[in-house]
A = this chain, B = another copy of it.
Amino acid sequence: MDVLILGAAGMVGRKLAERLAQEGRIGERSLSRLVLHDVVAPTPPANAPFPVVTAVSDFSSPGEIEKLVVGRPDLIFHLAAIVSGEAEADFEKGYRINLDGTRALFEAIRVIGDGYCPRVVFTSSIAVFGAPFPEAIEDEFFLTPLTSYGTQKAIGELLLADYTRRGFLDGVGIRLPTICVRPGKPNKAASGFFSGIIREPLNGEEAILPVPEDVRHTHASPRSAVNFLLHAASLDGNLLGPRRSLTMPGVSVTVAEQIEALRRIAGDKVAALIRREPDPVVMRIVEGWPRRFDAQRAKRLGFKAEESFDEIIRIHIEDEFRGEIVS
């Protein structure tokens, strides 16, 4: 199976490529080739049992996406996106990459014709939802994004469904919850503290908590994000019918519950590294975010996340510290 990953230099794309290299297959099909594409050079995974090609370009530039699709990959992971903050700050760039780029990909696939109909796994986001919403968002709740990023993802979902219905491609959209614990350096995303209050203390560093401890949010580990992608890649499309996008499951916890889990796993001294420093700007942003999902459809279709936040922390320790931390 010939596989293309768009957005392969990002955290999830990198972990997906590493996992493919380890396993050599998705479901029952072994990989014959992996193309990693991004706007900056992706790092090929070590020891892949199949050829890995890297490609660097702006896939929204005329003619670029066609070059990636002309070889007719059997499976395309479309993870490429301008993230929320940047899409809000740069209106034109957000629409160019997130809407025009996505549509250019689907069009490039369509115009090949000739029976070519690859599985396309599209990462959408819970940013397709906008307040006010119920305490738990059900599968049939409507999409009313309150950011340009969320708007572009919701449009991507609609296009994915229509191109699938018309038989041009075989799409599955997955709405990722907040991925936690994100490895690496702190970033400036408003949601960054959800990972920061776990990651920094485990590294022996202080973390700032800008919101009250009763804030509730839904998380899944980077490992779950990769599992979602792989499950979406091999899912029987007939089980989905015309509604191609799914809210992924996750662990809904308050910040207090996150901190208790950290204390259970790493002890009081580590948990004491969290400093409360309320930030009204972050608090206002976080108030507009969904707190909990009732992702029944995805669960019925076999998508699985962690069962507890303790498990999310343990996975972070396994994946980023080789299972060992000093507490």
Which residues of A come within 8 Å of B, CB atoms?
91, 130, 140-146, 148, 151, 154-155, 158-159, 161-162, 165-166, 242-243
Contacts and interface: CB of A to CB of B under 8 A. Distances in A.
Contacts of A158: 143, 145, 151, 154-155, 158
A142 B157 CA distance: 12
A127 to B, nearest CB: 12
A112 to B, nearest CB: 15
A165 B91 CA distance: 12
A96 to B, nearest CB: 12
A159 B143 CA distance: 12
Nearest to A131: B242
A242 B151 contact: no
Best-buried of A130, A140, A146 by chain B (most CB within 10 Å) = A140
Given A130-B242, A140-B141, A142-B143, A148 B162 contact: yes
Nearest to A139: B142
Given A148-B162, A151-B158, A151-B159, 20 more contacts: A91-B166, A130-B242, A140-B141, A140-B142, A141-B142, A142-B142, A142-B143, A143-B143, A144-B161, A144-B242, A145-B158, A145-B161, A145-B162, A146-B165, A148-B166, A151-B162, A154-B158, A155-B155, A155-B158, A155-B159
A190 B166 CA distance: 20
Contacts of A151: 158-159, 161-162
